[in-house]
Copies of this chain bind each other. A is one copy, B any other.
Amino acid sequence: MSRWIQDGDNVDITNERKKGTFDTERMSAWIHGGPDVLKRRREILSFVKSIDGFKDPVPTEFMSREERILNNARKVVAMTDNTDQIDGSDFFGEGMYYQALTMGRDLHAMSLHYVMFIPTLQGQTDDEQLDEWLTKAISRAVVGTYAQTELGHGTNLSKLETTATYDSATEEFVLNSPTITAAKWWPGGLGKSSNYAVVVAQLYTKGECKGPHPFIVQLRDDETHMPLKGIRLGDIGPKLGINGNDNGFLLFDKVRIPRRALLMRYAKVKPDGTYVAPAHSKLGYGTMVFVRSIMIKDQSTQLAAAATIATRYASVRRQGEISPGKGEVQIIDYQTQQFRVFPQMARAFAFMAAATEIRDLYMTVTEQLTHGNTELLAELHVLSSGLKSIVSWDTAQGIEQCRLACGGHGYSQASGFPEIYGYAVGGCTYEGENLVMLLQVARFLMRAAEGVRKGSAKLADIGAYIGKTGPKTSRLTTHYHYTDADLVADLEHAARKQVFRAYDRLKKAQEHLSPEDAWNSVSVELAKASRWHVRVYLVKNFLNKVALAPQDLKFVLTDVARLYAYDIITSSIGAFLEDGYMSSNQMNEVKEGIYECLAKIRPNAVALVDSWDYDDKELKSVLGRRDGNVYPALLEWAQNSQLNRSDVLPSHTKYLGPMMKDARSKL
Q: A74-B654, A249-B635, A578-B587 are in contact. Are A643 and B66 (CB under 8 A)?
A: yes
Could you say which of B238, B328, B400 contacts A641, with CB atoms under 8 Å apart? B238
A320 CB contacts on chain B under 8 angstroms: 155-156
> How far, in whole Å, are A648 and B224 apart by their CA atoms in the complex?
8
B659 & A77 in contact (Cβ 8 Å cutoff):
yes
Question: A514, A584, A654, A660: which has the most chain B beta carbons within 10 Å?
Answer: A660
Question: A152, A193, A400: which has the most chain B beta carbons within 10 Å?
Answer: A152
A292-309 interface code vs B (CB 8 A; 1 in, 0 out): 000000000000000000
Could you say which of B236, B249, B335 contacts A524, with CB atoms under 8 Å apart? B335
> How far, in whole Å, are A655 and B108 apart by their CA atoms in the complex?
13
A340 CB contacts on chain B under 8 angstroms: 435
B77 & A656 in contact (Cβ 8 Å cutoff):
yes
A417 CB contacts on chain B under 8 angstroms: 240
A631 & B73 in contact (Cβ 8 Å cutoff):
no
Q: A139-B663, A156-B328, A238-B413 are in contact. Are A520 and B649 (CB under 8 A)?
A: no
A186 CB contacts on chain B under 8 angstroms: 408
> How far, in whole Å, are A334 and B151 apart by their CA atoms in the complex?
20
A660 CB contacts on chain B under 8 angstroms: 140-143, 195, 222
A237 & B61 in contact (Cβ 8 Å cutoff):
yes
Q: Is A287 an interface residue (CB 8 A)?
A: no
Nearest CB of chain B from residue A357's CB, rounded to whole Å: 27
Nearest CB of chain B from residue A635's CB, rounded to whole Å: 6
For chain A, residues 412 to 456, give those with C-beta under 8 angstroms from any C-beta of chain B. Answer: 412-414, 417-418, 422, 425-426, 428-430, 433-435, 439
Q: Is A516 an interface residue (CB 8 A)?
A: yes
Q: Is A181 an interface residue (CB 8 A)?
A: yes
> CB-nearest residue of chain B relative to A501?
B588
Q: Is A33 an interface residue (CB 8 A)?
A: no
> How far, in whole Å, are A224 and B578 apart by their CA atoms in the complex?
71
Task: Work out how many copies of this chain go into the complex.
Answer: 2
B667 & A334 in contact (Cβ 8 Å cutoff):
no
Q: Is A551 an interface residue (CB 8 A)?
A: no
Query: Which segment of A21-29, A82-90, A465-473, A568-576 sits at the interface?
Result: A568-576
Nearest CB of chain B from residue A583's CB, rounded to whole Å: 9
B151 & A656 in contact (Cβ 8 Å cutoff):
no
Nearest CB of chain B from residue A143's CB, rounded to whole Å: 6
Q: Is A115 an interface residue (CB 8 A)?
A: no
Nearest CB of chain B from residue A452's CB, rounded to whole Å: 21
A336 CB contacts on chain B under 8 angstroms: 435, 439, 523-524, 527
A554 CB contacts on chain B under 8 angstroms: none
- The tally of residues in A whose CB lies under 8 Å from a CB in B reads 138
A631 CB contacts on chain B under 8 angstroms: 151-152, 180-181
Q: Is A510 an interface residue (CB 8 A)?
A: no
A195 CB contacts on chain B under 8 angstroms: 660
Nearest CB of chain B from residue A252's CB, rounded to whole Å: 14
B74 & A521 in contact (Cβ 8 Å cutoff):
no
A642-667 interface code vs B (CB 8 A; 1 in, 0 out): 11100111111011110110011011
> CB-nearest residue of chain B relative to A222?
B664
Q: Is A463 an interface residue (CB 8 A)?
A: no
Interface residue SS majority, chain A: helix
Q: Is A378 an interface residue (CB 8 A)?
A: no
A429 & B413 in contact (Cβ 8 Å cutoff):
no
> How far, in whole Å, are A183 and B318 apart by their CA atoms in the complex?
16
Could you say which of B237, B333, B579 contacts A640, with CB atoms under 8 Å apart? B237
A328 CB contacts on chain B under 8 angstroms: 156, 159
Q: Is A258 an interface residue (CB 8 A)?
A: no
> CB-nearest residue of chain B relative to A414?
B237
B663 & A141 in contact (Cβ 8 Å cutoff):
yes
Could you say which of B76, B225, B237, B434 contacts A637, with CB atoms under 8 Å apart? B237
Nearest CB of chain B from residue A74's CB, rounded to whole Å: 5
Could you say which of B322, B408, B428, B587 contacts A574, with CB atoms under 8 Å apart? B587
Nearest CB of chain B from residue A322's CB, rounded to whole Å: 5
Nearest CB of chain B from residue A17's CB, rounded to whole Å: 21
A407 & B154 in contact (Cβ 8 Å cutoff):
yes
Q: Is A274 an interface residue (CB 8 A)?
A: no
A187-203 interface code vs B (CB 8 A; 1 in, 0 out): 00001110100000000
A312-325 interface code vs B (CB 8 A; 1 in, 0 out): 00000111111110
A439 CB contacts on chain B under 8 angstroms: 336
A62 CB contacts on chain B under 8 angstroms: 237-238
Q: A404-B434, A439-B336, A655-B73 are in contact. Are A227 and B647 (CB under 8 A)?
A: yes
Q: Is A311 an interface residue (CB 8 A)?
A: no
> CB-nearest residue of chain B relative to A66?
B642
> Using a CB–CB distance below 8 Å, which chain A residues touch chain B?
61-62, 64-66, 69-70, 72-74, 76-77, 80, 109, 135-136, 139-143, 149, 151-156, 159, 180-181, 183, 185-186, 191-193, 195, 222, 224-227, 234-241, 246, 249, 317-324, 328, 333-336, 339-340, 396, 400, 404, 407-408, 410-414, 417-418, 422, 425-426, 428-430, 433-435, 439, 514, 516-517, 520-524, 527, 572-579, 584, 587, 595, 631-632, 634-635, 637-644, 647-652, 654-657, 659-660, 663-664, 666-667
